[in-house]
Structure 1
Amino acid sequence: MSPSYRGLLLDFGGVLTTRMRLNGRAFEESEGLAPGAYFHALNENPEGVRVYSDLEVGRATQEDWNRVIGGILGIDPTGLMERALANLRPEPAIVAAAQRAREAGVKVAMLSNSFGLAPYNPYKALGMWEDAFDAVILSEVEGVRKPSPAIYQRALDALELTGPECVFVDDHAENLPPAAALGIHTIHHTTDPEATTAQLDALFARAAA
């Protein structure tokens, strides 16, 4: 007999929202940046990597991130995170699947490595805050980020569920093994929201029965 899942953990950027890479490319175009410049600043420039990591666990503020990334890119840092995420939108198929699961009695949590909450709160801006979920687990608040096992356990604790009772969806493959080690069923969301929602609907069909 297949398991009956009672909890769903969803990543924010790239799962509950449209693809982060597409958003980043649109940001580069809007700021007149060379293709790939933004991603290089975030993922390869040592200062950019450091400030992003620090932001995610609350050691740096969003304004620190704005200043450092703006300096690396040579652009105005004022409100930079808001500009950088301006083309991000809720992913309708995933949001709808989460709503269906919740209506069936499944507990749904958002589990996100934080973009910072002030001065710009991207979660509220996209309508994804406390009322939309049974729990919101942000790395900035927790002081620990994915893929640390601790943040997955905190998500389980917040839902009052065990790992084998839950499903976790993330667009970064490296974030899945620590969740799987806790017994959580994992789904790697890639570029096809409909494929992911089909998996979710199948997994939670028993909850609705």
Structure 2
Amino acid sequence: MILDFGGVLTTRMRLNGEAFERSEGLPPDTYFRALGEHPDGIAVYAALEVGEATQEDWNRVIGGILGIDPTDLMRRALANLRPEPRIVAAAQRAREAGIKLAMLSNSFGIEPYNPYEALGMYEDFFDAVVLSELEGVRKPSPRIYQRVLEELDLAGHECVFVDGRLANLPPAEALGIRTVHHTTDPAATAAVLDALLQDRGST
């Protein structure tokens, strides 16, 4: 079982971002536009994800776009993110049934703030952790999915991959990995994972 981090293993990224905007006194959607529309914001995030920029570079650039203090900005920006209990519980049930678990994340950076450790989801919870920053490649590149399979020592048809972005699913499917598109309903995704686990147990 291969799980994305932000918005799958955690609560919704949108809600986290909205809470960040309120805490910083920013107008609605300002943060999201900085990440997804401003060319400098888009560029620094893409560079961070593949290890070509540091988290402190991201802090400086995004802080500058928003006109706020960049100090430890990633920590502040993710301060309202929490583990999603229903997905985490489904992952724990899978592991108890002998299923290997992997986390595959386009990285938020790990220094000076490591969100994976902060939320208690790092090596101890998974059989494999693949972060784009450390691999030099990000989803949806086929190379990063192949890397997860290598780390798990499994073939594609033996795995299921859960991600909140539709664009990230086809490259996994091309490797034979079954995919689940996670939307805004973690209970529904957990139910799908439990059903897959039950099907496996009955075969």
Deviations 1:132-189 (A, max 9, x none): 0000000000000000000000000000001111000000111001101111000000
In structure 2, the partner of 1:85 is: 78
Q: Does 1:196 align with 2:189?
A: yes
Structure 1 residue ranges, 4+ long, deviating more than 4 angstroms after superposition: 206-209
Cα deviation for residue 207 of structure 1 reads 4.4
SS of corresponding position for 2:169: helix
Q: Percent identity among equivalent residues?
A: 75
**For residues 198 and 80 of structure 1, what CA distance do their matches in structure 2 show?**
35
Deviations 1:95-132 (A, max 9, x none): 00000001100000000000000000000000001000
**In 2, are the aligned partners of 1:106 and 1:207 still within 8 Å (CA)?**
no
**In 2, are the aligned partners of 1:105 and 1:207 still within 8 Å (CA)?**
no
Residue from 13, 33, 44 that aligns with 1:20: 13
**Aligned ranges 1:129-208 → 2 under 5 Å:** 129-208=122-201
**For residues 193 and 117 of structure 1, what CA distance do their matches in structure 2 show?**
26
Cα deviation for residue 206 of structure 1 reads 4.2
**In 2, are the aligned partners of 1:19 and 1:88 still within 8 Å (CA)?**
yes
In structure 1, the partner of 2:26 is: 33
In structure 1, the partner of 2:49 is: 56
Alignment-mate amino acid for residue 192 of structure 2? Q
Q: How many residues matched?
A: 202
**For residues 42 and 198 of structure 2, what CA distance do their matches in structure 1 show?**
41
Where does the alignment leave 5 or more consecutive residues of structure 2 unmatched? none
What's the TM-score, normalizing by structure 2?
A: 0.98
Alignment-mate amino acid for residue 87 of structure 1? N
In structure 2, the partner of 1:3 is: none
What's the TM-score, normalizing by structure 1?
A: 0.95
Alignment-mate amino acid for residue 5 of structure 2? F
Alignment-mate amino acid for residue 134 of structure 1? D
Cα deviation for residue 205 of structure 1 reads 1.5
**For residues 80 and 207 of structure 1, what CA distance do their matches in structure 2 show?**
43
Alignment-mate amino acid for residue 97 of structure 2? A
- Does 1 or 2 have the higher relative contact order (CA < 8 Å, sep 6+)? 1
Where does the alignment leave 5 or more consecutive residues of structure 1 unmatched? 1-7
Cα deviation for residue 36 of structure 1 reads 0.4
**For residues 181 and 37 of structure 1, what CA distance do their matches in structure 2 show?**
36
RMSD, aligned CA: 0.7
SS of corresponding position for 1:107: coil
SS of corresponding position for 2:80: coil
